């Protein structure tokens, strides 16, 4: 249990809070191990809990009226989800599902509510988490609206690169079906879009991406789609 607490303390939601104010909350939670593909909660359900990911990957998604799945967010270790809905007594805006075998810490909404009521810093922490989520959504939305599939992949890969390298090889963190969903593409389109990156110095080998030049990739990622078809740098 010690280990659980240590991991949970590093969660984005908790890391800036005084330790003692958080530990009691964490220790009220229960740890769950769930298998790949298992559902954690459903969109529209009352938000009975907040979750902290101790290990593994979780996707948040919505099912549209016509039945297709839309990936809203993909989270891993030390990320939390459900906290905003939990404190407000609302319903989950998305469904959540494990995409790998996953260890979760589940904390009761009421416990969180009490903690928030008892402590202004805790309230601020939840607020700050919501703001960051918001910001991430806004950025993602902007990407989807203004970049082509290949450019979105480029951004995705750049996000996986260590910041100070010029050439690097990154491991794709989850399977390509999920990457496609996250980037708003079908798997077939993803596969083709990967190949459009070849002339920009990216090779995909199984679950690895070999990037020749981060700078070159960034140029491509932020290039105006309008200008791309007439490069004539000859």
Partner DNA sequence: CGGGCCCTTGACGTTAGTCAAAGAGCGTGG
Partner DNA sequence: CCACGCTCTTTGACTAACGTCAAGGGCCCG
Asked if residues 29 and 108 have their Cβ atoms less than 8 Å apart, the reply is yes
Distance CA 170, CA 208 (A): 6
Triad 189, 64, 187: Cα angle to 5°: 15
Distance CA 191, CA 176 (A): 8
- Binding to its own copies by CB under 8 A, coded x per residue (else -) over 61-100, reads -x-xxxxx-x-x-----------xx-xx-x--xx------
Considering only the stretches 72-80, 87-95, 143-151, 214-222, report the one whose residues sit in contact with DNA under the rule CB under 7 A: 143-151
Q: 60 forms bridges with which residues in the sheet?
A: 73, 96
Distance CA 51, CA 34 (A): 13
Which residues neighbour 5 within 8 Å (Cβ) at sequence distance 6 or greater? 23, 26, 27
Name the residue nearer to its own copies (CB basis): 25 or 54: 25
- Binding to DNA by CB under 7 A, coded x per residue (else -) over 29-58, reads ------------------------------
Choosing from 188, 199, 231, 234, the residue that interacts with DNA (CB under 7 A) is 188
Triad 178, 184, 190: Cα angle to 5°: 65
Nearest distance, CB of residue 206 and its own copies, angstroms: 27
- Which residues contact its own copies by CB under 8 A? 62, 64-68, 70, 72, 84-85, 87-88, 90, 93-94, 117, 120, 123-124, 126-128, 130-131, 133-135, 137-142, 144-147, 184, 222-225
Q: Which residues bind DNA (CB under 7 A)?
A: 148-150, 175-177, 184-195, 204, 206-207, 225-226, 228-229
């Amino acid at each position: 249990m010690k280990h659980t607490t240590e991991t949970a303390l590093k969660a984005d939601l908790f890391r800036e809070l005084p330790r003692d104010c958080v530990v009691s909350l964490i220790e009220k939670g229960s740890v769950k191990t769930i298998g790949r593909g298992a559902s954690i909660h459903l969109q529209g359900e009352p938000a009975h809990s907040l979750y902290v990911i101790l290990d593994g990957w979780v996707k948040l998604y919505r099912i549209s009226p016509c039945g297709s799945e839309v990936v809203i967010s993909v989270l891993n270790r030390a990320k939390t989800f459900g906290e905003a809905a939990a404190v407000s007594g609302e319903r989950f805006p998305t469904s959540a599902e494990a995409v790998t075998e996953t260890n979760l810490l589940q904390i009761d909404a009421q416990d969180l509510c009490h903690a928030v009521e008892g402590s202004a810093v805790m309230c601020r922490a939840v607020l700050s988490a919501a703001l960051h989520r918001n910001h991430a959504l806004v950025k993602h939305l902007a990407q989807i609206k203004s970049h082509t599939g290949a450019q979105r992949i480029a951004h995705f890969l750049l996000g996986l690169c260590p910041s100070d390298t010029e050439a690097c090889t990154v491991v794709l963190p989850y399977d390509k079906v999920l990457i496609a969903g996250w980037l708003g593409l079908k798997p077939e389109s993803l596969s083709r879009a990967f190949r459009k990156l070849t002339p920009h110095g990216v090779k995909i080998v199984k679950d690895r991406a070999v990037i020749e030049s981060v700078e070159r990739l960034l140029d491509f990622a932020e290039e105006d789609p309008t200008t791309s078809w007439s490069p004539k740098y000859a």
